[in-house]
Structure 1
């Protein structure tokens, strides 16, 4: 007797992506797409309604993003199986998702077979991480991670704000901003604001269009 199919909730803000994934899963004898959501809030509602065996979760979405939704779903159901499928690479992105409770992290440019194998792996209790992401995590495993405040400052830098503007927006002194930027440069191994933003974007601390 065949075991019941893996019931999958698909969370992504692009309808065509959701349709493509649903069509791919429908062709698998052991998988069944049971619902869709376009942001984190909808994902939580659909999870409560459907109790899927596995949730495929994007990271960057309007409203509530994927990391926040993962944390909320895991608080509702500590055994929930969640696999991130995103266009955003970077060890910091992956680390945030895994800390929130994701069991896997794949990039959308991966081959279809990788996604199918990852769903089966995560459903069975194992982890599934894209090779590029695993390499990035290993490369930076001993690095000091940026704090939430440092990421916030770096995001404002990326938007073109000067130190005085950042200090005013965050209700901090100009000297504090300078000290925070010095700490950021040290952690990232860079010497100026431009390289700090470039590297932070590549590693997933700050995401374009977020």
Structure 2
């Protein structure tokens, strides 16, 4: 059973945000790591996945994502978006750090961001109830960790995300899957396989 992350007792960590523009220029000078393909994502019961292009930089909207505050904009980084014809989407963001020490620090900060995410969501949005779940570590390369975050507003809007952080040497990747609804029926085991594939493809 996953560990339940209680929103009221989580630690909020402050991490400095950095610009996206420099990430694109750094990415141009660094070899692009391997990315997930559409077939690597958890199968959707009523639609197929479409993969976008691998694009340099961290997506601009990530700067406002309270669950991923530590993603750097100044490092070599890329992202790839995935979509279905329905209400499910996914994204992979990968950054190559200068060395394994800074990569391990980034992975640690991202894990802390996600663990403390539900508490910050409720602090910032009093009319929203947020719940996090810890689905545990995965034994792939230098490690990966899988989480879930569900939010429900006072007017009934309900969204769920699965997120994972993985590292191979000086490369860190974040995979996220999202759709409308709650934790019921989320493809946790399939998402763990997706995360393992993502980390194995980094080289």
Higher helix content, 1 or 2: 1
User: Does the pair score TM above 0.5?
Assistant: no
Q: TM-score, normalised by structure 2?
A: 0.24
Structure number with greater CO (CA < 8 Å, separation at least 6) is: 2
Q: TM-score, normalised by structure 1?
A: 0.24
